[in-house]
Structure 1
Amino acid sequence: MTEAYTYTPLERVYWDAKVEEALLKEVDLLDLKKVFVVASSTLSNKTKEISKIQEVLGKKFVGLFDRCLEHSPLENVIECVNEVKKVNPDIILTIGGGTPIDTVKVVQLCIAKGIKTIEELKSITGKQHNLNSSIRQIAVPTTLSGGEYSIIGGAMDTKKKLKEGYFGSDICPKVVILDPHIATHTPDWLWLSTAIRSVDHAVEGFCSISENPLIAHNALQSLEMFSVSLRRTYANRN
């Protein structure tokens, strides 16, 4: 029986990179005119990282949303949608952990499907959507949970107190920038706990009844690497 693995539309991953340098490469490569930034409130309000990115972008910077809430409540997603639509950017630059990245995934889905309300958003949860999104994201992750590599986003129904899944064929980032410097702002407990979440992903991937040789190999290799790197990270956490 013939089987196949379909890659997500993630085009590039930069590693050991400075976000400002990689971002300027992407601005030229993708011919970006308007960049909207979604960032964690901690990075935005307690560090100079976001202001440095604004300075690098210059007139191409068209807005900032730094009010992402934990678990991406539906109300918060719609709030972000409205802010993005005001400026109609070419791309969203997302900087932070799983919360802002998930928020922007669902924001992309809303914009692609013309969704304006929580009720409309709830009507599409749990369904796979084939998209050709007009707005994608460049992600700069600061945790290790790995959500930037998937086409699945999560958002919280605060009335049910339930996090629901949203699926879109191109809601993964177009580009991922792995900047070790910006990740140093992440608290140790968050860095290490999200790493365990990735360990969980690897174990699930390897044990899945739908596993394939590509995923199985990557899962085992990631577990081997984590077994070394997490100990080193913990030993040098200060």
Structure 2
Amino acid sequence: MKRFGFLDKIVNNLKEAKMEVEVFEGIEPDPIVITVMRGAEAMKSFEPDWIVAVGGGSPIDAAKAMWAFYEYSEVTFEELCIPFNFPTLRTKALFCAIPSTSGTATEVTAFSVITDYDKGIKYPLADFNITPDIAIVDSDLAETMPKKLVAHTGMDAMTHAIEAYVSTLHCDYTDGLALHAIKMIRENLINSFNGYGRKSKNA
């Protein structure tokens, strides 16, 4: 996000709107509990009205969890691990997600995955409270993905589409979306991998 100038663009746009901005960086792939707590402490110090999460699934997932600890210092990670057990959010801040990859769709879902390496466990946090208020999906960001990431996230998107179609919670509405997503990925993933339709190629 830094290298291609997107972070600066977002920060500058927010500052032009007369908003104070503080950037929290260093989210690892498969974000860990310690990083979440560190980010929550940074939020408590800065006291933002908006949380803007930029990047792939990992930084957006991490920011979702940070959001809960920012608004409720007393909540424990163990409590958040219980499905649909989050306290009511938006008492201090709203949430905007700007994804740079395809696949997880965390920018429009009620889920966050946080890893505890000490226990060797990935915890899926689930609650409608953590669904972002705003999702900004900008194709310019996706076009910066290297070919390997195009392949990985493209197959991730395909997996999620198939999963939605065979889910026990499927319905006529979701079936149409899932089948159309499968069709679009099948028709476009290889071209996307080869850089067709992109403004710049990144190996």
TM-score bracket for the superposition, by shorter chain length: 0.7 to 0.9
1:49 aligns with 2:1: no
Percent same amino acid at aligned positions? 21
Q: Which of 158, 162, 168 in structure 2 is aligned with 1:203? A: 162
Q: Which of 150, 155, 169 in structure 1 is aligned with 2:128? A: 169
Distance 1:127 1:115 in 2: 18
Structure 1 residues not aligned, in runs of 5+: 1-42
Contact 2:147/2:194, CA 8 A, preserved across alignment: no
Q: 1:2-45, CA deviations, whole angstroms, 9 ceiling, x for partnerless residues? A: xxxxxxxxxxxxxxxxxxxxxxxxxxxxxxxxxxxxxxxxx23x
Structure ranking higher in strand proportion: 1
- Once the two structures are TM-superposed, the CA of residue 115 in structure 1 deviates from its matched residue by 4.2
Normalising by structure 2, we get a TM-score of 0.86
Contact 2:33/2:115, CA 8 A, preserved across alignment: yes
**2:27 — aligned with what?**
68
- Once the two structures are TM-superposed, the CA of residue 181 in structure 1 deviates from its matched residue by 1.6
Q: Which has the higher contact order (CA 8 A, sep 6+)?
A: 1
**1:133 — aligned with what?**
90
Residue 149 of structure 2 aligns to a residue in which SS? helix
Contact 2:96/2:135, CA 8 A, preserved across alignment: yes
Distance 1:47 1:208 in 2: 38
Contact 1:126/1:164, CA 8 A, preserved across alignment: no
Equivalent residue letter for 1:133: R
Distance 1:233 1:171 in 2: 31
- Once the two structures are TM-superposed, the CA of residue 136 in structure 1 deviates from its matched residue by 2.7
Structure 2 residues not aligned, in runs of 5+: none
- Once the two structures are TM-superposed, the CA of residue 122 in structure 1 deviates from its matched residue by 2.6
**1:89 — aligned with what?**
48
Alignment of 1:89-128 (within 5 A): 89-115=48-74, 120-128=76-84
Residue 194 of structure 1 aligns to a residue in which SS? helix
